[in-house]
Amino acid sequence: MVVKKLVSTLLMLLHYTSTCLICCLFKHHVMELDDSQRVAVSHLYGPLQVKAGPGSGKTRVIVGKVVALVEQGVSQDSILCMTFTDKAADEMRRRLHEKGVGDVWVGTMHALCLEILKSNSITTSISDDTIIFGEMARLAWCYRNIESLNIDEDVINLSRSLQKTCLKILNAIRLAKREMISDEDLEMHIKDNDAPQLKELLKVYRAYDKYKLEKNLIDYEDMVVMTVKYLEQDSQMLKYYGEKFRYVLVDEFQDNNYAQFMLASLLATSDNITVVGDEDQSIMGFQGAFGGIFEEFTDRYKNQNSVMLTQNYRCSDNISAVSTQLLKADAATKLKDMHVTKGEGEPVMVVAAFNEEAEHQFVADTIKGLDVSSKSIAILCRTNLQCQKFAETLRYNGIPTTLAGIGNILHNTLVAQIISLLKIANSPHTSGLEISHILKIDGIYEHNIRALNTKARY
């Protein structure tokens, strides 16, 4: 009896200590917030839209709100934080852990969807044996099968480049799924409209889905679409997950597509949903990010509150002014009244070089004239190829240079060719894409490769 009482007392003490720790951390955290961040963090219940400019502390707001909810007695495992990338999820977990919060569900939407689908495998048919259908595998499937689908070449124009055609078709299927457009929806549209390209697309769409079903494959679009449909069709499971996750927070909201927005809205059955993002920073528009997602949120949640984060902690005043001038050129952009905290900073220099080589040499000469270590200098380029050309010029000028993120030997053209040859040797019957790459390197034209593919089938 004495032992039981002692254990009970210890458990109560541990709970009290943990609660006190979180309370102290929360009070300290609130003191670190600016006025607009504090307003966002203090809005604990109901739908909230936080529009945040660059460097305004979006992640700090999400972390602060989670800590505030826990401080109010909300169970940590009833809070769902959805991020756009695994890296962002890791960063958020780290920050929450620093605040004494470790049991909140933090991850990408795809990770959450896969967990839901696998947990209900009897209904969804998605299990641990299901294989994720990656980008290269999808392209290889299309490359091998597109001609057997009797695509109308006059409509799709296969003769130009089979690889480019496959990429365009797969991208169209991806975008359709992200907009929750099924093959039945496409068929209905084709019946009501003269759409020959969609008719050809529908052939590939259905063959693609059939292949995945036969081979127990799932792609990233399927993960979200299947989860949305599953929750819409099973009210009991929707209720279960709605009660499990009483509070839903979505980071980088501007990069979500329509299907992902549907998922977040479904899970937030109690309307305790917070979305944080900046419509001017969307980097996924070319992959189907929903352009009017903030407006859709406002339409769906009539009682939503909106907070604008107005302090820019990242940029100097000069950089902020230049970015504002650039955004003014877009009439559709609603400029934010951001306040910079870093001071005026160095002036922004705009240089129009005569050609690419002159641009590279100008940068090299400028760096040599600076009295700083080359380690403290960064050059940002739009493509990896531009980075490589800059690096060549800098090294020629004796400037130590490191290529960030593209130094992998596997990205080398010659190494990639060797890997293709090894794949062909290992599995010649399933290496159509690799064979095509090698043949093109040897000067065999696309239409000849297609003719060989056709002959090989018969």
70-80 pLDDT, tens per residue?
Answer: 999 999 999 99
First to last CA, the chain: 83
For the ranges 192-196, 267-271, 344-348, 442-446, the lowest mean pLDDT is seen at: 442-446
Is it the case that residue 54 has pLDDT exceeding 60? Answer: yes
For the ranges 44-48, 153-157, 407-411, the lowest mean pLDDT is seen at: 407-411
- Which pLDDT belongs to residue 7? 47
Q: What Rg, from alpha-carbon coordinates, does the chain have?
A: 27
For the ranges 41-55, 137-151, 228-242, 259-273, the lowest mean pLDDT is seen at: 137-151
- Which pLDDT belongs to residue 146? 82
Are 20 and 108 members of one domain?
yes
Are 210 and 78 members of one domain?
no
Is it the case that residue 224 has pLDDT exceeding 90? Answer: yes
Site of tokens 């270590």: 373
- Which pLDDT belongs to residue 163? 72
- Comparing 380 with 329, which gets the higher pLDDT? 380
Is it the case that residue 178 has pLDDT exceeding 60? Answer: yes
- Which pLDDT belongs to residue 321? 82
267 in any annotated domain: yes
Are 236 and 88 members of one domain?
yes
For residue 280, give the nearest of 109, 58, 36 by alpha carbon. 58
391 in any annotated domain: no
Average pLDDT (318-340) is 75
In this structure, the dihedral spanned by the alpha carbons of residues 13, 19, 25 and 29, taken in order and rounded to 10 degrees, is: -170
| Centroid of chain to Cα 450 | 35
15 in any annotated domain: yes
Neighbours of 377 (CB within 10 A): 14
Q: What is the pLDDT of residues 416-427, one digit of tens each?
A: 777 777 776 776
- Which pLDDT belongs to residue 331? 64
Is it the case that residue 389 has pLDDT exceeding 70? Answer: yes
290 in any annotated domain: yes
Q: How confident is the model at residue 300 (pLDDT cuts 50, 70, 90)?
A: very high
Are 184 and 165 members of one domain?
yes
The answer to whether the CB of 194 falls within 8 A of the CB of 223 is: no
Tell me the pLDDT of the chain averaged across its residues: 82
186 in any annotated domain: yes
Q: How confident is the model at residue 176 (pLDDT cuts 50, 70, 90)?
A: very high
CA 228-230-235 angle, to 5 degrees, is: 105
Tally of domains in the chain: 3
CA–CA separation, 294 vs 276, rounded Å? 10
Helix H, strand E, coil C: the string for the chain is CHHHHHHHHHHHHHHHHHHHHHHHHHHHHHHHCCHHHHHHHHCCCCCEEEEECCCCCHHHHHHHHHHHHHHCCCCHHHEEEEECCHHHHHHHHHHHHHCCCCCCEEEEHHHHHHHHHHHCHHHHCCCCCCEECCHHHHHHHHHHHCHHHCCCHHHHCCCCCHHHHHHHHHHHHHHHHHCCCCHHHHHHHHHHCCCHHHHHHHHHHHHHHHHHHHHCEECHHHHHHHHHHHHHHCHHHHHHHHHHCCEEEECCHHHCCHHHHHHHHHHCCCCCEEEEECHHHCCCHHHCCCCCHHHHHHHHCCCCEEEEECEECCCCHHHHHHHHHHHHCCCCCCCCCCEECCCCCCCCCCCCCCCHHHHHHHHHHHHHCCCCCHHHCCCCCCCHHHHHHHHHHHHHCCCCCCCCCCCCHHHCHHHHHHHHHHHHHHCHHHCHHHHHHHHHHCCCCHHHHHHHHHHHHC
Are 7 and 113 members of one domain?
yes
Residue 38's domain is classified under what CATH number?
Answer: 3.40.50.300
Q: How confident is the model at residue 435 (pLDDT cuts 50, 70, 90)?
A: low
Average pLDDT (409-414) is 61
Last residue of a domain, one of 215, 250, 276: 215
Is it the case that residue 338 has pLDDT exceeding 90? Answer: no
Site of tokens 């093959």: 183
For the ranges 17-21, 86-90, 406-410, the lowest mean pLDDT is seen at: 17-21
- Comparing 315 with 94, which gets the higher pLDDT? 94
- Which pLDDT belongs to residue 248? 98
Are 230 and 184 members of one domain?
no
Q: How confident is the model at residue 212 (pLDDT cuts 50, 70, 90)?
A: very high
CA–CA separation, 96 vs 33, rounded Å? 15
Average pLDDT (373-391) is 88
Last residue of a domain, one of 160, 193, 215: 215
Percent above pLDDT 70 for the chain: 77
Is it the case that residue 10 has pLDDT exceeding 50? Answer: no
Is it the case that residue 106 has pLDDT exceeding 90? Answer: yes
- Comparing 263 with 337, which gets the higher pLDDT? 263
Are 228 and 100 members of one domain?
yes
Last residue of a domain, one of 154, 186, 215: 215
Is it the case that residue 20 has pLDDT exceeding 70? Answer: no
Q: How confident is the model at residue 327 (pLDDT cuts 50, 70, 90)?
A: confident
The answer to whether the CB of 248 falls within 8 A of the CB of 272 is: yes
Give me the domain span that covers residue 422: 410-457
Neighbours of 309 (CB within 10 A): 26
Neighbours of 221 (CB within 10 A): 20
Are 206 and 231 members of one domain?
no
Half-sphere exposure of 169 (CA within 13 A, CB side): 33
Average pLDDT (347-353) is 89
- Which pLDDT belongs to residue 115? 96
320 in any annotated domain: no
Entry pTM = 0.76
Q: How confident is the model at residue 14 (pLDDT cuts 50, 70, 90)?
A: very low
- Which pLDDT belongs to residue 2? 46
Are 234 and 209 members of one domain?
no
148 in any annotated domain: yes
Are 249 and 109 members of one domain?
yes
- Comparing 450 with 357, which gets the higher pLDDT? 357
- Comparing 103 with 140, which gets the higher pLDDT? 103
- Which pLDDT belongs to residue 304? 92
Site of tokens 């979006």: 58
